[in-house]
Amino acid sequence: METKLTDVGSAAQIQAAIDALPPEGGTVVLPEMDIQLDRGIELRSGVALRGQGAATILRKGPGRVFPLTGYHNYGMRDVPLVSTAGLSVGMTVSIQGERSRGFGDTFARITWIDDGWVGLSAGLSAD
């Protein structure tokens, strides 16, 4: 399956097109564009993202840090944050520990936000 996007204004639109592909995958074709992404784009097996050569430019937006307010355990699918301002459901995040002993990085999508807590699409990789 091939999906051609004609007017793209956000990374969320690109991700929605990727997510709408069938389980076996397919291709999302981007138009000529120059866009700064406000979030990561998550691909899965069998999915291709194709542009128009040098005329399609995806720029990584600035990274932001959202400190945790406390410790959380292996496998948990939520994290407590000092502030959730600027985050929205569907954004991709990387949860990292400053002390690498026993804590692995986790890459996930935000599934919900409520009162200083953020839900994750994947469990924390380690303590």
pLDDT digit string (tens) for 28-71?
999 999 999 988 899 999 999 999 999 999 999 888 888 888 77
| 121, HSE (Cβ side, Cα atoms, 13 Å) | 12
Of the given ranges (22-31, 39-48, 99-108), which has the lowest mean pLDDT? 99-108
pTM confidence score: 0.75
What residues contact 117, with CB distance under 8 A and at least 6 apart? 78, 79, 80, 81, 84
Q: Is the pLDDT of residue 110 over 70?
A: yes
Is residue 125 scored above 80 in pLDDT? no
Write down the pLDDT at residue 103.
58
